[in-house]
Amino acid sequence: MKKITTLALGVAFAAVSCQKVDGESTDKKAGEILQQKNWRMTGYYDDGNDRLVSFTGYSFTFNNDGTVHAIRDGVVFNGSWKDTMYTDTVGSTASLKLQFDNTRPFNGLNKNWMVIEKTTKTLHLRYQDFPKGPYDDVFLRINY
């Protein structure tokens, strides 16, 4: 019985620990969350293809004036962001519009991304190519 109790406590502790790592769910807009810290991209899928290597090492800073800066090794790419709504035939969803210049790989981020999931430490964005094509997904995490 003692082993079962210890095992149950261990599983409960692990579940709580994982939740803290990913942050807590929040009702704040994506832009409000992003302005809190610097961020890094932990996943980028273009039509299901893993393209994260193009963004490895970049630190993203979202400012309250609507600008975003992606910095790696002293090289800066500037863009803009805006909290918006994504509307389709099903309804409206909170979204985040990103706009960089046409320099690769940042031009692939120039979309109105649906906010799929957000916590105090993570953000999952999705764009669906039309008509009903594959998804593009971006995963951001606070950069410690």
The 10 Å CB-count burial string (b at 16+, else e) for 54-85 is: ebeebebbbeeeeebebeeeeeebebebebbe
* % residues pLDDT > 70 (the chain): 85
Q: What is the pLDDT of residues 52-68, one digit of tens each?
A: 999 999 999 999 999 99
User: What pTM, to 2 d.p., does this model score?
Assistant: 0.81
**Domains, the chain:** 24-142 (2.40.128.270)
Distance in angstroms (rounded) separating the CA atoms of residues 135 and 124: 12
CA 119 to chain centre: 10
Can you give the pLDDT at residue 129?
76
CA 23 to chain centre: 13
More reliable by pLDDT, 92 or 30: 30
Can you give the pLDDT at residue 86?
82
Closest Cα partner for 138 from 47, 39, 43, 53?
A: 43
- The answer on pLDDT for 108 being more than 90 is yes
Average pLDDT (131-141) is 88
Class of residue 29 by CB neighbours under 10 A (exposed 0-12, middle 13-18, buried 19+): middle
Q: How sure is the predictor about 40, in pLDDT bands with cuts at 50, 70 and 90?
A: very high
- The answer on pLDDT for 1 being more than 70 is no
Q: What is the DSSP letter of 120?
A: S
